[in-house]
Each structure stands twice: as structure tokens, then as C-alpha cells.
Amino acid sequence: MNFLRTLRPNALPYFLQDLSPLQQHREIVLQHTLNFLTLFFLAGSGILRVLFPNYLELATQGLFAGIGLGILALFRRIPFNWRALAVLLVFAFMGASDLLANGLNGNGMFYLFTFALLSMTFFGTVPGIILTVLTAVGELAVGIMMTTGTIQAPVERIAGSTQLVAWIFHLIAFVMSAGVLLSAIYELTVGFAKRLSEKENTINTLEHDRTNLENALRALNAETRKRNAMAEASRNVLWSVYPETTLESLLPKAAEVIKEQFGLYHVGIFLLDEKGEYAVLRAATGEVGKTMLENQHRLRVGQVGIVGHAAATGEPNISPNVDEDPQHYPNPLLPETRSEAALPLRVEGRLIGVLDLQSTEIGASFVEKMETMKDVADQLSILIERVGLMEKLQASLKEMEENTRQTVRTGWLQFFRNKRRQRYAFSMRAGGAHLPSSNGGEGGEPLKGTTLAVPIKIRNETLGVVNLKFATGKVPPEVANLVEQAVNRMAISLDNVRLLEEIQMRADRERIVSEIATRVRATNEIEKILEITAQEIGRSLGASDVVVHLDTRK
């Protein structure tokens, strides 16, 4: 089988498959030619031996030629140029021998013509032209020598045209030359047609691939544009609500922006109550949303609607067609709802609410849109948590400020009581300074001109005021700012003085208590302990009478 496969022209061995397409084609034509010539010479040799015993020498030559060509056909590792030259030499030898022996009446012209065509086929245009010119020059030289008598024309060969054998040899030469040429032309034609068909198939395949690639690219561009639009809508939502600092402003604005950016029918934001039993509507779009908020709309977790189910599971609940979803809770205020999605609002795994999205769309487009909305829900959850923490922080700061103000007010009231005074006042006029009494007015006549009143504040608690009169019609801003800074520093100094006195008073009280305790511990008599305690308390507090009762009676 390998032997027969080697002889097949189109079955190129592995060591010939790296050749260029043109050289592979020449190899195929050469193998066709060798196979044909081998069979022709071997068969012709046998026919001559049987039918024409007188041409035994010619039959022997044909046998050797067939064997040699068969070896070249079988051993394809022999270089191409050597095998091709062997074929050309056969035709050149046969053509030259016949032309010298028979002149124009022989078959030499067939052989030489075949030689020229095969040389061009095997070695290309330039070598073929050169060999063709040399063949033509050789034929011309033989013709000149025969016409001038240098070479004697064989008259007996010319006369042999009436013999059958001459015609048979002529036919054999024609068949051999025509067979070789037809084989080469057939292979060239078939090879060309095959290459052309392969090229067309390749072009069609490339065209089909190009069409598929263009369609895929258009689909990818469309999908990219859609995703970019969704991403842009998401960014618009976040940028619109990010500056908000209270839930009362954040939630309604988020609902409206989401509805506008994503082309939805209705948007609602539910937050869980403190017990986690109900999802309470905190923001909704349109007049319907206002009505639902006025009705204090809420849904029980895990029992009512798509929102309730999402609040119970903590997972997105997307219904592309609510008419086919048994979990859908039909709201008579929203009759055009065809699809709904409930996206959980979670912060660090903790569910804080549900984002309810309703649309008039049905099917895949709504589902694709909801995939983007999941990211929006996650970002919105973070914003809600941040704003909630800010509100709690602000409430704590207000409570702390109020406690601080109350502490300051209580401290100054106690300070005034300790000083047995209701107020402090100081006035300065052009005529000099005057410090009025603690309970009286400032005295003097009312001042005329522009008044600048700067409150005396200590930790936002107003304790008094500084009034300044200017003769000018308007107080410059820089002057007002300077006065305000001075008053603020004065307030700090006043409070420091109060705190210092309070600390001193506490120290005195602690000292008195310590002295009383020391003297009490020095005696073991009850009467003496009561006497020492009453005396020390009266002396320290300035009390005229001190009575101590120690009685176990009911």
C-alpha cells in the first residue's frame, strides 16, 4: 500500500509538504509524467517484442528507459531537478535522434516540442524560453546541414512513408508526446481549478467570518452602549443624592432620580421598623407615592408581596411579568405595573430596607436593567446608613450642646447666688468709667448714635451683652469683627474665673468636711461627736442655730 501511495501524484510525502504551492504543483506534474512514461515505455517494449521482432534492439532500449523512469517515479526523495532533467533528456535524446535519422518526415518535432513545453513547466518561464531557443537553434542547424548536403537525408526513410510500420512509429511518437502534454495540461488545469475553488471557498469562509464578526461587533457595541448608559444612569443617581445629609431629603430625591434615569413607572423605598416586622414606606414617586405615604403604607415582612418576600429572605426578588407571579401584591393605585423588582438594601450583611422598582416593561429588558440596579441599591444602602449615622451624630451633638448649655447656666446661677448678686454691669462713657451697683441700672442719660450689641456667649449660652455706641452712622465690618473676637475672649476669661472660684469653693468644702471628720474621729462619745459636728458646720456656714436630732422613735 505504501508502494502504491508513493506513486500517487497528489499524495505528497511529508518531506515535500513544506514546499511552496507552485513547487508542489510542479512535483505533481512531474510524478504524472514519470508514471505515464514508465507505463508507456514498458508497455511499448512488450508490444514491440511480440508484434515486431525486427525491432528487438529498440524494444530493449524502451525497457531500460521504462525501468529508469520507474525508479525515478518510485524514489521521490531524489531531488526534483534531477528527476525533471532525466525526463527532459529522454525527450531531447529521442527528438534529436529521430530528427537526424528521419529529417522532417520523422517524429523528432513532436519530441522536441514536448521537451520545450515540459522544460517551461518544470523550471519556469526563463529556463523554458532558453531551452526552447536552444532547441529551435538545433533544429535550424540540422535543417541547414541537410539542405547543404553536410548531412545526407535518408532517402529510404522518406520512401518508407508508404510502409505501415512507419505510420505505427509515427502514431506511437504522437501518442507519447500528446499523452505527456495532455497529462501536464490536465494537471495544470485541474490544479488551477482546485486552487481557484479553494481560494473561492477561503474567500467565502472569510466573508462569512467577517459577517459574523461584524454582527458580533455590532451586538457588542450595542451591549456596550447599553451598559454605558446604565452605568451613566447609576452615576447620575449617586451624584444627585450624595450631598444630602438627612433621610427626609435623601430618600425622596433618590426615588425620583432613579425613576427618571431608568425610565421606571414607580419607585418606592421601604425601611424596616425597629422590630423588623414591617417594611415601612419612607419615600415614593408621584402623586400615588404621596397618597401611599399619607396612608402610612407598610408591608408585613415575609407575608405581603414581592417586597415582603425580599425583606424576609434578604435576596433580590425580580418578577419580569407580575401577572404570572403569585407573590405579586396588586396595588390598585398602580394599575399599569407589568414587572416589579424588590432589591434588598443591605449594609455589611445587615438588612435595612428594600428598594421597590415597578415598570410597564415585560421580559428580558427589565431583568437586564435590574442587574444594574443591584449596584445602585448597594450604593444607596451605604448612603442611607451614612446619613442615618450623621443624623444620630447630630442628635447626640445637639443633646451634648444642650447639656453643656444647661451646665453653664446652672454654674453661673450658682455663682451669682454664691456672690449674692443678680448681675454685673460696667459702663464707660466719654466722661469716664462708671461701675454701677449689682442690682441697679446703668444710670445716666440714654446714649445717642449707632449701637453695636455683641452677646456674651459661653458654649452657646448667652449670659449677657456688650453694647457699644458709635458716633458714626455705620459700624465697619472689621470693627464689628474685632469687637466680637474681644468679647469672645472676655467670655472665656469670665468662665475661667468662675470655674476657678468654683474649684476653690469645692476645695474649701472638702477641707471643712475633712477637718470635721478628723475631729469627730478623735472622740468616742456620741454627745461629743454631735457637739463637734454642729459647732463646725455652724462656724463654717455662718449659721446662727444648728440642731442635731438623733432619735429612733417612730
Position 161 scores a pLDDT of: 40
Same structural domain for residues 488 and 388? no
Q: What is the mean pLDDT of residues 439-467?
A: 70
Q: Is residue 354 part of a domain?
A: yes
Same structural domain for residues 263 and 154? no
Q: Is residue 232 part of a domain?
A: no
Range list of H helices, 52-79: 56-74
The domain containing residue 58 runs over which residues? 3-205
Same structural domain for residues 252 and 372? yes
Percent of the chain whose pLDDT exceeds 90:
2
Identity (one letter) of the amino acid at 150?
T
Residue 436 has pLDDT above 60, yes or no: no
Q: Is residue 547 part of a domain?
A: no
Residue 47 has pLDDT above 70, yes or no: yes
Report the C-alpha gap between 142 and 148 in whole angstroms. 10
Position 362 scores a pLDDT of: 82
Residue ending a domain, choose from 174, 205, 236: 205
Q: What is the mean pLDDT of residues 13-21?
A: 78
Contact (Cβ atoms closer than 8 angstroms) between residue 75 and residue 86: no
Report the C-alpha gap between 421 and 66 in whole angstroms. 146
Strand partners, 466: 454
Residue ending a domain, choose from 394, 417, 433: 394
Q: What is the pTM of this model?
A: 0.47
Using only the alpha carbons of the chain, give its radius of gyration: 60
Q: How confident is the model at residue 241 (pLDDT cuts 50, 70, 90)?
A: confident
Same structural domain for residues 185 and 295? no
In a 13 Å sphere around the CA of 352, the CA atoms on its Cβ side amount to 20
Number of domains in the chain: 3
Q: Is residue 550 part of a domain?
A: no
Most confident of the following: 172-176, 234-238, 302-306, 548-552: 302-306
The grid cell for 329 is 401584591
Residue pLDDT, tens place only, 382-429: 888 888 888 788 888 888 888 887 887 887 777 777 776 666 776 666
Position 124 scores a pLDDT of: 73
Q: Is residue 94 part of a domain?
A: yes
Report the C-alpha gap between 416 and 391 in whole angstroms. 37
Residue 36 has pLDDT above 60, yes or no: yes
Same structural domain for residues 20 and 129? yes
| Mean pLDDT, the chain, whole residue set | 77
Same structural domain for residues 196 and 285? no
Q: Is residue 471 part of a domain?
A: yes
In a 13 Å sphere around the CA of 300, the CA atoms on its Cβ side amount to 2
DSSP-based three-state secondary structure for 521: helix
Residue pLDDT, tens place only, 60-81: 888 888 888 888 888 888 898 8
Position 438 scores a pLDDT of: 46
Position 546 scores a pLDDT of: 75
Same structural domain for residues 21 and 139? yes
Sign of the four-CA dihedral 378, 379, 385, 391: negative
Residue pLDDT, tens place only, 52-64: 778 788 788 888 8
437 Rama class: left (phi>0) / alpha (psi -120 to 50) / beta: beta
Contact (Cβ atoms closer than 8 angstroms) between residue 31 and residue 23: no
Residue pLDDT, tens place only, 479-489: 888 888 888 88
- Please report which helix (H) or strand (E) contains residue 341, including its range: strand 339-347
Same structural domain for residues 189 and 270? no
Q: Is residue 48 part of a domain?
A: yes
Q: How confident is the model at residue 268 (pLDDT cuts 50, 70, 90)?
A: very high
For residue 364, the domain's CATH number is 3.30.450.40
Q: Residue 360's closest CA among 396, 392, 336, 384?
A: 336
Same structural domain for residues 254 and 183? no
Same structural domain for residues 186 and 254? no
State the pairing for strand pair 461-470/450-458.
antiparallel
DSSP-based three-state secondary structure for 475: coil
Same structural domain for residues 54 and 171? yes
Least confident of 87-91, 289-293, 442-446: 442-446
Residue ending a domain, choose from 150, 177, 205: 205
Q: Which residues contact 66 (CB under 8 A, 6 or more apart)?
A: 37, 38, 39, 40, 41, 42, 44, 45
Report the C-alpha gap between 307 and 379 in whole angstroms. 19
Same structural domain for residues 174 and 262? no
Q: How confident is the model at residue 284 (pLDDT cuts 50, 70, 90)?
A: very high
Q: How confident is the model at residue 525 (pLDDT cuts 50, 70, 90)?
A: confident
Residue pLDDT, tens place only, 309-353: 888 888 888 888 888 888 887 888 888 888 888 888 888 888 889
Residue 230's φ and ψ, nearest 5 degrees, are -65, -40
Residue pLDDT, tens place only, 131-174: 777 777 776 777 677 677 676 655 554 444 444 454 455 456 54
Q: Is residue 543 part of a domain?
A: no
